[in-house]
A and B are shown apart, each in its own frame.
Chain A
């Protein structure tokens, strides 16, 4: 029986887990082309070596990240995603974000000329 160490539940039978794909930086879908988005959604790098991957412990619906050596098929480390993702990420459309920023600025009665950010990415 193959064992995976779940950061929440401890060692568990590998049958209790499902694979969720590589950990990759999420691009802001409003700021990239359709080709770039298709590339992000469908193309896997399929690297030989140590990679970071999403895994889910199904009985608890708990998602975590595993560092796995794809050559040896060996999981080196598992950890909670909060180690990487510290804040919630929202991808507002640039115009929506600009509008909400204007409303906010009008409320406080001043214009923040330095805030030109129109999207976020990790």
Chain B
């Protein structure tokens, strides 16, 4: 029996921690959260990560701002924001700013939670509120999942009407659409040569969404993978 951290011993838990316990996750503490390192079979998860895997990244920082002055306010606070809608702009610290509309931006932290950009922006907003900028607390309202592997576009074709194949849906491109009948933000974020997609969706439906994705992934031998298997995809994370 592998020794594992009990998620209920920490105050910060993923929306999906009960699902992870059921799947036999081995937890470790990261940034105050209990994060699944693996689900008991690290080797098969490493293999699944480049074919068809699902990772819960809800422990990572994320935030959002909307309003007619949001983009200007973000730029003045050191966050690069693209001009067009539904595009991602990489930050120096591996964080990403997704411009969802002319008046809305969502920011995703880096996969190691080392960047302070998200926290800095949240702190700046709470101490220096500005007209025309409104906070969207995505860390407490959205769960963050990542689908990895070459079969991801085929899997999405079953549950999403938008064409997410790599030849059509470029790196950093954002689609705001329905996946498995839930409103989602999906962004392509390749890790080295492996195709991966980040998904933000309503945290209250996290349990349903996790199960729906695993069900759709079954025919591709997809499975939940821990953070260790995700990190095996690149030496940079």
Contacts and interface: CB of A to CB of B under 8 A. Distances in A.
Interface of A: 1, 8-9, 12-13, 15-16, 57-60, 62
17 contacts: A8-B85, A8-B86, A9-B85, A9-B175, A12-B162, A13-B161, A13-B178, A15-B178, A57-B176, A58-B183, A59-B176, A59-B177, A59-B184, A59-B185, A60-B101, A60-B176, A62-B101
A1 B184 CA distance: 20
A12 B183 contact: no
Q: Which secondary structure dominates where chain A touches chain B?
A: mixed
Contacts of B184: 59
B35 interface: no
A22 to B, nearest CB: 24
Given A8-B101, A9-B86, A1 B175 contact: no
Contacts of A13: 161, 177-178
Interface of B: 85-86, 100-101, 161-162, 175-178, 183-185
A9 B177 contact: yes
Nearest to B181: A15
B162 A60 contact: no
4 pairs of A and B residues whose beta carbons are closest in the complex: A59-B183, A13-B161, A60-B176, A59-B176
B100 A60 contact: yes
A62 B177 CA distance: 12
B181 to A, nearest CB: 8
Given A13-B177, A16-B178, A60-B176, 6 more contacts: A8-B85, A9-B86, A15-B178, A16-B177, A59-B184, A59-B185
